[in-house]
Amino acid sequence: MTMRVDAGLTPAPSGVPVGRPMPEMERPMPEAPGRRLGYAVVGLGQFALNQIIPSFARSQSSKLVALVSGNRDKALHVAECYGVVQKNIYDYQSFDRIADNDEIDIVYIILPNALHAEFTVRAFQAGKHVLCEKPMAVTVEECDAMIRAGREADRRLMIAYRAQYEPYNMEAIRMAREGELGTIRLVTSDHGRILDPSVPADQWRMVKSLAGGGSLYDIGIYSLQAARYITGEEPVEVSGYITSDRNDPRFAEIEDLVAFQLRFPSGALANLTSSYSTSPVKRIQVFGSKASLVLDPATEYERHQMMVKTGKEERRVQMPEGNQFAAEMDHLAKVVMENREPKTPGEEGLRDIRILQAVYRAAREGKPVLLSTTDAPTR
């Protein structure tokens, strides 16, 4: 009997098990389901301990494998709770030895803002990919150096703009982009809270050399992000006002209340605020020619609420929330595995720092500042 076989394969007598060679694939093999990249978390503060480290349990492509901390006892305790082996605990001095640890693929930097640039560059020099908290860094020059170091090391840099991985914000972006609200004319967004000097995480936020700025750098960046990701445009002009009570010790070095406006090429405007002295708010509103949308809270860790109003009709939009922290960590793990660029690369963080610096300048000089759009991305 003649046996029909695929071209190029050696016919085998029936009944004898054989191993075929690897077929030629047109595309690279898909990643094995369940493959996870190893993260080292740098800085075991409030956000790392309460939000990020617990979220690894909800991730699909990421796992916690190493810790970097200035406090050995705390690191040992966290390592025991989350199953990190002791040899994978580093301090800020021994950090560079991560170069010898193949279990670590990605370094997640959750330090005060002024330390983001140094640890990003050191992580790249150790051959690792980087997820860096917002704001990306303190100055435009630092952002440039971080991007350059990533390119030189041929490693990915992603800024942890969690709202861009959060389902309600993603749905608002989809609705705005697909014209469901009509032409977008105005975005307003407010982010405020009371800065509390008794909380350790707020103590470095009052020190300009560590925080880089005040409410604008810390939470005004969410208002700015909202205006950019909802419109999908880059602003061409910015104006701003800042008021800070210099007799309040919290605001000896950094700014409190900021109101700033952006003008976009389409003619859309954004009216944005940030504050360290008002009761908490995290709100985004979008006004289109057909409908308006309110996301309030918009940038919480969970329990978002979204209403869409068309004429006199109002409807509530409900989405499965998932875990935005796991989603962003998995996004970077996946793009690294697939050799792609992340949705929120270093260039996205740099753009925000440029605009925030222009807000300070506009407020200082008391007149609008024109922005260059030459480096604007296509969305």
Q: Which positions lie near ligand NAD, rule CB under 6 A?
A: 43-48, 70, 110-113, 115, 133-134, 160, 162, 200-201, 204, 210, 218
Burial class (CB in 10 A: 0-12, 13-18, 19+), 158: buried
**Which of residues 115 and 308 has its CB atom nearest to ligand NAD in the complex?**
115
**Which of residues 111 and 257 has its CB atom nearest to ligand NAD in the complex?**
111
Gap between the Cα atoms of 337 and 156, Å rounded: 11
Least CB distance to ligand NAD at residue 234 (A)? 22
**Which of residues 5 and 199 has its CB atom nearest to ligand NAD in the complex?**
199
Catalytic residue among 39, 134, 229, 282: 134
**Which of residues 269 and 284 has its CB atom nearest to ligand NAD in the complex?**
284
- 222 a catalytic residue: yes
Residue 19: CB atoms within 10 A of its CB come to 6
- Cα 313-319-323 angle, rounded to 5 deg: 150
- 134 a catalytic residue: yes
User: Which of these, 295, 331, 292, lies nearest to 314 by C-alpha position?
Assistant: 292
User: Whose CB is nearest to ligand NAD?
Assistant: 45
Gap between the Cα atoms of 370 and 362, Å rounded: 9
Residue 311 has, within 13 A of its CA and on its CB side, a CA count of 1
Least CB distance to ligand NAD at residue 33 (A)? 29
Assign residue 154 a region (left: φ > 0; alpha: ψ between -120 and 50; beta: otherwise): left
Catalytic residue among 108, 168, 217, 222: 222
Least CB distance to ligand NAD at residue 111 (A)? 5
Least CB distance to ligand NAD at residue 115 (A)? 6
Do the beta carbons of residue 369 and residue 238 sit within 8 Å? Answer: yes
Q: What is the set of active-site residues? A: 134, 222
